[in-house]
Amino acid sequence: MNGSSPSLEAIRWPAPAKLNLFLYINGQRSDGYHELQTLFQFIDKADYLTISANHNGAITVQPDSDIPLTDNLIYKAANALQQYSGTHLGANIELEKNLPMGGGLGGGSSDAATTLVALNQQWQLNYSNKVLAEIGAKLGADVPIFIHGLASVAEGVGEQLTSVDIDEPWYVIACPQVHVSTAAVFTHPTLIRNTPKRPLAQLLSDAWRNDCEPLVKKQYPEVAKAIDALIEYAPSRLTGTGACVFATCQSQQQAQSILQHCPAWLNGFVAQGSNQSALYKQLKLRNKI
């Protein structure tokens, strides 16, 4: 264990959502994983975790969910860090869930990443983000980007991150009431898997798309319906494997106007893009870096 004399105060940490502004699948490896190129940007919507360290070594997560505790990503992240560090400390974690499950906004992965980052601070372990990302990658492919905390192009199987400085527009994000299985999308025979790899400059300058979108629209008519509703007003596409979709707007006013004019069945919200995640900003303030 690296740390000592932890603070037992309860600290509230954000677990922000992300969008995949583009997602290209370049091929499938012999181990079944897919090579991809994707652009992550954060938005100003988040779950929140209130975390306090304890001396009894127990890890608790509230409120209880239908998922067994040992399958809960927050618990798994805390347990993984506890095991890795050998600390005898535990944590009491309270989740305020605002992001939809299975929506392609990264809610579960972000919760896990925030757990690792927060406990690294509160247990005073002082591990680097690189170490935390290595622990997080075993929990989910998107966990490292939330630990990294900066808008980035991810390559390989998502582990190669290159930070980028891009526009921070406003978005209308619609959340169809369906759960899309990422595993089912990536194992489907008709998924696009042959998009050629491109250099960074070309990736950022070319028109953006999501290789998962044609399949997801076909499999989930609710997603196709949401994209059709938004695309009348602004460029719109799927994030990740969905089910959430987003329209890119030129201003907050335009985004709010689009949301007001959308059909009543469209469940959505307005958010602004950010190249620094709320977790990154809070960490920077706490550490005065």
Catalytic member of 18, 45, 76, 217: 18
78 and 221 part of one domain: no
What the block records as the tokens of 271 is: 């958010």
On whether residue 199 sits in a domain, the answer given is: yes
131 and 188 part of one domain: no
* pLDDT at position 287: 83
The CATH number for 185's domain is 3.30.70.890
225 and 99 part of one domain: no
On whether residue 6 sits in a domain, the answer given is: no
Last residue of a domain, one of 164, 179, 202: 164
Residue 220 one-letter amino acid: Y
Last residue of a domain, one of 164, 180, 213: 164
263 and 247 part of one domain: yes
Rounded CA gap, 83 and 167, in Å? 40
> In 10 A of CB 82, how many CB atoms?
20
The DSSP secondary structure of the chain, one letter per residue, reads ----S-----EEEEEEEEEEEEEEEEEE-TTS-EEEEEEEEEEEEEEEEEEEEESS--EEEES--SS-GGG-HHHHHHHHHHHHHT---EEEEEEE--SPTTSSS-HHHHHHHHHHHHHHHHTT----HHHHHHHHHTT-TTHHHHHH-B-EEEETTTTEEEE------EEEEE--S----HHHHHH-TTS---PPP--HHHHHHSPP-BTTHHHHHHH-HHHHHHHHHHHTTS-EEE-TT-S-EEEEESSHHHHHHHHHHS-TT--EEEEEEESB-HHHHHHHHHHT-
Catalytic member of 76, 142, 211, 217: 142
On whether residue 135 sits in a domain, the answer given is: yes
266 and 182 part of one domain: yes
> In 10 A of CB 9, how many CB atoms?
9
Rounded CA gap, 262 and 252, in Å? 15
Number of domains in the chain: 2
The CATH number for 73's domain is 3.30.230.10
Last residue of a domain, one of 136, 164, 192: 164
What does the pLDDT profile of the chain (289 residues) look like in tens digits?
A: 444 567 789 999 999 999 999 999 999 988 888 999 999 999 999 999 999 999 999 999 998 777 888 889 999 999 999 999 999 999 999 999 999 877 889 989 999 999 999 999 999 999 999 999 999 999 998 999 999 999 999 998 888 999 999 999 999 999 999 999 989 999 999 999 999 999 999 999 999 999 999 999 999 999 999 999 999 999 999 999 989 999 999 999 999 999 999 999 999 999 999 999 999 999 999 886 5
Q: Which domain holds residue 77?
A: 11-164
On whether residue 250 sits in a domain, the answer given is: yes
112 and 195 part of one domain: no
Cis ω on the peptide bond leading into residue 243 (within 30° of 0)?
yes
Q: Is 142 a catalytic residue?
A: yes
**Residues listed for the chain:** 289
Rounded CA gap, 100 and 46, in Å? 10
* pLDDT at position 3: 46
81 and 219 part of one domain: no
126 and 257 part of one domain: no
Q: Is 66 a catalytic residue?
A: no
On whether residue 176 sits in a domain, the answer given is: yes
Q: What is the dihedral of CA 212, 217, 223, 227, to 10 degrees?
A: 90
C-alpha 80 chain-centroid distance: 19
Distance spanning both ends of the chain, measured CA to CA: 24
193 and 243 part of one domain: yes
130 and 244 part of one domain: no
